Amino acid sequence: MSAMARASASASAAAAHNVFVYGSLVADDVVRVLLNRVPLSSAALLNGFHRFSIKGRVYPAILPVQNHQVIGKVLFGITDPELHILDEFEDVEYQRSLVEVSLLESSDKLQAHAYVWSNANDPNLYGHWDFEEWEGAHKESFMKMTSGFMEELELPESKPRVATYESFYHQDAEK
């Protein structure tokens, strides 16, 4: 049974979503911290978008750009509560949108949620974001920040993820 067939079989058991990820959430370790599991996934391509670096941030943004494409992966079988966690994690900087992606192993096209940068005219976006570079330079500290975010999320007065990110990395810079 293919990953897609398993995902659609599990989707019929409960409301499940496909989510296209292209940045820190490509790392299974980060997803595990957020969702307490690593969902089935498949490498995928999003046409008509570009993945930018963001000045002062270690994570990327995507925006529609003609004749560009972003390679990432689709997480299958994301439940409503998990989608809520991802919404909180992506915070107000991103807007969840439905996009069409192509699975790399089969070329099948499917609809998936993707987190698109909210500010299309953001002057802090530049160049191209590289996953391998992020993984080597920032993954370990990003995982600590993500754990802190999840601890915050449990509190009644939780801070937005951006505030958690900024306080974590500001505190890191002072060491």
| SS3 category, 19 | strand
Side-chain-side CA neighbours of residue 28 (13 Å): 7
Residues 150 and 34: their CA atoms lie apart, in Å, by 7
Active site residue 152: no
CA angle 35, 39, 43 (to 5 degrees): 125
Residues 152 and 22: their CA atoms lie apart, in Å, by 24
Catalytic residue among 90, 140, 166, 174: 90
Catalytic residues: 90
